Amino acid sequence: MTTLVDYQSARRNRQYEVESLLGELDERRRKLYSLKAGGARPAGLRDQKSDYHAILQRLSNVVGAAA
């Protein structure tokens, strides 16, 4: 029984983490679009894009660990 509870708890935590990362990706994507629309140059978006890709990698790691 403890194993089932542990599994469900770990699964729930992973779901919350995935949800959080998806929300953060959405927020950063919107910010990138806004900056681009405001005339930001590619060099000015480098850090934001790097952060966005780092979050994508974290999401990939979380989802990959679940498989």
C-alpha 16/C-alpha 51 separation (Å) is 20
Average predicted confidence (pLDDT) for the chain: 91
CB 14 within 8 A of CB 62: yes
Whose CA is closest to 59, among 18, 10, 24?
Answer: 18
**Band of pLDDT at residue 65, cut at 50, 70 and 90:** confident
Better-scored residue on pLDDT, 54 or 3: 54
Separation of first and last alpha carbons in the chain: 22
Could you read off the pLDDT of 16-33 as tens digits, one per residue? 999 999 999 999 999 999
CB 49 within 8 A of CB 32: yes
pLDDT (average), residues 47-67: 91
